[in-house]
Amino acid sequence: LLKPKNTKDNTERIKRIEDKFGQLMEINEIKGKIRKGIGKPGEAIVKAAVEEGATMIVTGTRGLSKLKRAFVASVSDYVVHNSPVPVITCRRH
């Protein structure tokens, strides 16, 4: 049986991720905001962009092949096709 992760563990993990990206934004003098959303990730990202009056969304991608993307819902694909603002998609090297 798989045990669900402890909520405290998840909260701490999320805090570390937020801190890491907050520091990277500060070091690189990037103005922005880190937000948490509820629901499907792509929909939450587009909704947050609208609510914040964002002028651009920067997102990552795992670099799946077209065939794999056809079978696996891609958050970055959803954002690119549903965002009212420009989207930059970065692939990890």
5-37 residue pLDDT tens: 667 788 888 899 999 999 999 999 988 888 888
Q: Report which DSSP code applies to 20.
A: H
- For the record, the structure tokens of 80 come out as 């690119």
User: What's the predicted TM-score (pTM) here?
Assistant: 0.70
Give yes or no for a contact between 59 and 91, defined as CB atoms under 8 angstroms apart: no
Which H helix or E strand runs over 90?
strand 87-91
Give yes or no for a contact between 57 and 79, defined as CB atoms under 8 angstroms apart: yes
